[in-house]
């Protein structure tokens, strides 16, 4: 199939996770087993109102056919580039279920008379932000070989 003839779709970038932990899904009226992370990504993208066309490697590439898998790997750049949008799905982290960046308090909201309290509050917020960023970037998704290709080639 030619990608220019494909319908609009979203490509999903994620990590497979533990391949022994699987979930059953139904795709095109067929029951499939996918990793828990794949199922979580699909569940996050699911819409109850609209049809969502998604490209996700575990389903769109026949993982049991070495020849097809090899051919598709050479097309991955084109697949991600042709997608309307690339969705990066990170499953919940062990240490926190959502990633938040603390905002630094503005001087207006702090006691202007106490430089020490301003610096202490700023330092505390900064340390928390650094810890959040470190937690995010230590996630397994960032260690994958294909990450740059999936991000750089994405239109959105």
Which residues, 6 or more positions from 104, have their beta carbon under 8 angstroms from its beta carbon? Answer: 122, 125, 126, 129
Q: What is residue 31's predicted lDDT score, i.e. its pLDDT?
A: 93
Judge contact between 156 and 84, C-beta under 8 A: yes
Which 3 state secondary structure label does DSSP give 140? Answer: helix
Domain ranges of the chain: 1-104, 113-155
Tokens 């982290």 locate to 93
Judge contact between 123 and 104, C-beta under 8 A: no
DSSP 83-118: SSEEEE--PPPSS-SS---PPPPPGGGS-TT-HHHH
Per-residue pLDDT of the chain (156 residues), as tens digits, is 577 777 888 999 888 888 899 999 988 889 999 999 899 999 888 877 888 888 998 889 888 899 998 888 888 888 888 888 888 888 766 544 344 433 333 434 445 455 555 455 555 666 667 777 777 777 777 777 667 777 777 776
Q: What is residue 98's predicted lDDT score, i.e. its pLDDT?
A: 44
Q: What's this model's pTM, rounded to 2 decimal places? A: 0.65
Looking at residue 26, the DSSP 8-state letter turns out to be: E
Q: What is residue 96's predicted lDDT score, i.e. its pLDDT?
A: 46
């Amino acid at each position: 199939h030619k990608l220019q003839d494909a319908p609009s779709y979203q490509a999903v970038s994620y990590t497979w996770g533990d391949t022994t932990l699987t979930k059953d899904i139904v795709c095109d009226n067929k029951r499939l087993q996918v990793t828990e992370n794949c199922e979580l990504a699909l569940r996050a993208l699911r819409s109850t109102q609209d049809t969502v066309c998604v490209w996700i490697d575990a389903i769109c590439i026949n993982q049991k056919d070495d020849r097809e898998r090899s051919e598709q790997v050479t097309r991955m750049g084109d697949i991600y580039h042709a997608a309307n949008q690339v969705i990066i799905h990170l499953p919940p982290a062990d240490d926190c279920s959502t990633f938040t960046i603390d905002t630094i308090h503005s001087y207006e909201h702090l006691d202007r008379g106490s430089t020490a309290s301003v610096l202490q509050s700023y330092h505390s917020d900064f340390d928390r932000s650094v810890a959040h960023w470190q937690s995010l970037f230590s996630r397994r998704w960032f260690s994958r070989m294909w990450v740059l290709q999936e991000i750089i080639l994405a239109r959105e």
